[in-house]
Structure 1
Amino acid sequence: MTPIGFLGLLFLLLALYCGIDPFKHSAISEFPDFESYKVDLPPWELVPTDRDKDNLLQKSEIKFLNQVQGPESMAFDPLGRGPYTGVADGRVLFWDGQNWKDFAYTSSNRSEICNPKPSPQSYLPNEHICGRPLGLRFDKNTGDLYIADAYLGLFKVGPEGGLATPLVTEVDGVPLRFTNDLDIDDEGNIYFTDSSSKFQRRNFMQLVFSSENSGRLLKYNLYTKETAVLVRNLQFPNGVSLSKDGSFLVFCEGCPGRFACFYMYSNIAVLDLHVL
């Protein structure tokens, strides 16, 4: 066999191996119903070209290096103490000025399987048991901390910390499978994202590959205990931030790489505010 023929045969065998995937090495092998979705991207000329010319991010000071595993959202309480952050083993930690201390957790089923491990990736198989707090926001009036747990839903814990109380675990009969981030206004409304109703956090790469559009922007009212869907059919919605005057909020969609704006008083979402 000539060298070219050998390379051709090798390429054919490799293609067959990738197509058949006999040893289930593919990232989507455990998802037989996996489907990819179109991502609508803007024309290249509309992509913003503004950059940080002074490279300020590179000049930032690195804090708490190697002290916490997988820190996510950070928050400061109404007295300015903190930061508080959710970490890979399912706890919410509090910096008291000298040390990190346990503050809260979302799962009542924690056990030795949630104990510290060598790397953040080591916690992935048990995140649904230990909890995985992502978004954090304090109510500046009550001192209560609201937590978006990726697997368990929306939670609240008082200023003293401890086991958080679940507030929302499903909306319109659809379970929260990837609760991500949140923000709270002065009227007791919590705005939060559910990144996907199909993929959980430990399968976020499959969500990225798929770009499926089951994500939602949601609103929970603390007084009526009701939850409403503000925007549907989002592709990996993530961070949420209210404007200073509370007239709109900005959230991001990971797959299209864009920030979107939701205007409170008109209930209108503009989904192409900025493209990353």
Structure 2
Amino acid sequence: MATAGAIVAGLFLLAALYCGTDPFNHRPMAKFPGFEVYPVELPPWSELPAARDAENRLQKAELRFVNQVQGPESITFDPLGRGPYTGVADGRILFWNGESWSDFAYTSQNRSGLCDPKPSLFSYLENEHICGRPLGLRFNKKTGDLYIADAYFGLLKVGPEGGVATPLTTEAEGVPFKFTNDLDIDEDGSIYFTDSSFNFQRRHFIQLVFTAEPSGRLLKYNSVTKETTVLLRDLQFPNGVSLSKDRSFFVFSEGNRGRLSRYWLKGDKAGTSEVFAQLPGFPDNVRTNEKGEFWVAIHCRATRLAYLLSVYPRLSEFLLKLPIPAKMQFLLRIGGRLHAIIAKYSPEGKLLELLEDQQGKVVRAASEVEEKDGKLWIGSVLMPFIAVFTLQ
């Protein structure tokens, strides 16, 4: 018995030593030794949206262009209805001409062999800051210019013929953008966009999710004066942006807070913001359809563990100091597997429709939903395809 006890004590000591020293740098925050986890303001768990898609209708989606597009974050169509166009993991923006994909634009002026196609999506992370990572895409319907939010190169523009994009703005108030994410264009040429963090780059997005750092900003670029203005700051992973049909406001998503907020552009509330809708999970991009409704791509449904780690940051900090790799910690937080949700909201913020793939059998992740001609085009920064769902 004494020998067995000594063995157990020895194993416990080795485990404690391993956890304390992390000799193989398995901790998710190993590269960020001074990291801090921030609390997230959330409603009580019982008040989070509980609606479900009992039929798992997203499993009826058709997967197109499998292994032809890697990480198609944003999907858009040009003013003539051609496309889709999408930005992919190697830094290119591709155009589908109805028969094949072709290179349309690039955000990096220093592309090299480092940016050549690779077998895995995650193989690009190391060189994203060189090759670029186009995220949000929007066409100016009047000029045909494509505006791009690139995670590393800021806000850019390329003409209707494509090519190397021209940078428009890369900083605000002397603080460089670190993670430019999404945008929308108003009729007067104003561009509203998000910078998800001024500390974490996109290749460290998992660490930004874990820490819930409130360093994100909501910004406006004036295409006439070339000025960039900060509209809101201290946001927790701001992401998608989409103007209302009447252009009186726009909505933007905050990942860690799991919500949409409305920023007023006109009327008595102009220049102020308010909560528009609490979401069932972690949102990405938002897009407005022809009726003025908002489609929201949601990476995964909120779990009780993720909720507890959000409201009790010290508990999250403790887990992040354990030598458990980032991927495993992420899967623990989302319930063990990827599972996409997309939701449609009215202009008043009422939930109208919810589509899910709860088992992650077909649509495992969603970054954006673009409605066109009775179909939903669903992109994902994590998947090598575009899913297309036919609306009934």
Stretches of structure 2 that go unaligned for 5 or more consecutive residues are 281-392
Counterpart mapping for 1:123-134 below 5 A: 123-134=124-135
Q: Does 1:267 align with 2:274?
A: no
- Matches for 1:173-252 after TM superposition, within 5 Å: 173-252=174-253
Question: What is the Cα deviation at residue 272 of structure 1?
Answer: 6.1
Q: 1:4 to 1:137 in 2, by over 3 A?
A: farther
The alignment's TM-score, normalised by the length of structure 1, stands at 0.95
* In structure 1, C-alpha distance between the alignment counterparts of 2:192 and 2:163, rounded to whole Å: 23
Structure-1 separation of matches of 2:265 and 2:3: 69
Distance 1:15 1:269 in 2: 47
1:136 aligns with 2:140: no
Q: 1:3, 1:240 → 2: CA distance?
A: 60
SS in 1 for 2:63: coil
Deviation string 1:72-120 (CA, Å, 9 cap, x unpaired) is 1011000000000000110000000000000000111001111111111
Q: Given that residues 244 and 250 in structure 2 are in contact (C-alpha distance below 8 angstroms), is that contact kept between their aligned partners in structure 1?
A: yes
1:156 partner letter: K
Aligned-pair CA distance for 1:16: 2.5
Q: How many residues align?
A: 276
CA 1:82/1:10 → structure 2, altered by over 3 Å: closer, same or farther? Answer: same
Q: Secondary structure at the match of 1:62?
A: strand
- Looking at structure 1, the residues matched to 26 and 256 of structure 2 have their Cα atoms a distance apart, in angstroms, of 24
Confirm whether residue 45 of structure 1 aligns to residue 46 of structure 2.
Answer: yes
The structural deviation recorded for 1:58 is: 2.1
Is 1:29 the counterpart of 2:30? The answer is yes
Give runs of aligned pairs for residues 104-183 of structure 1, distance below 5 A: 104-183=105-184
What residue is the counterpart of 2:312 in the other structure? Answer: none
Structure with larger RCO (C-alpha < 8 A, sep 6+): 2
Cα distance between partner residues in 1 of 2:255 and 2:171:
22
Cα 1:264–1:54, aligned 2, differ >3 Å: closer, same or farther?
farther
TM-score by length of 2: 0.68
State the Cα RMSD in Å: 1.5
CA contact (8 A) 2:251 2:276 kept: no
Using the TM superposition, give the Cα deviation of residue 56 of structure 1 relative to its aligned residue in structure 2, in angstroms: 2.9
Please state how far the C-alpha of 1:13 moved relative to its aligned partner: 2.2
Are 2:217 and 2:230, in contact at CA under 8 Å, matched by a contact in 1? Answer: yes
Name 1:15's counterpart in structure 2.
16
**1: CA distance between counterparts of 2:188 and 2:246?**
12
CA deviation profile, 1:9-53 (whole Å, cap 9, x unmatched): 323322222222233222211112211111122112221122334
Task: Look up the equivalent residue of 2:241 and give its one-letter code.
Answer: V
Taking every aligned residue pair, what percent have the same amino acid on both sides?
66
Shift of 1:252: 1.1
Equivalent runs, 1:79-118 vs 2, <5 Å? 79-118=80-119
- Which AA in structure 1 matches 2:190? N
Mark the runs of 5 or more structure 1 residues left unpaired by the alignment.
none
Partner of 2:325: none
Q: CA offset at residue 204 of structure 1?
A: 0.7
Counterparts of 1:61-76 in structure 2, within 5 Å, are: 61-76=62-77
AA of the residue aligned to 1:210:
T
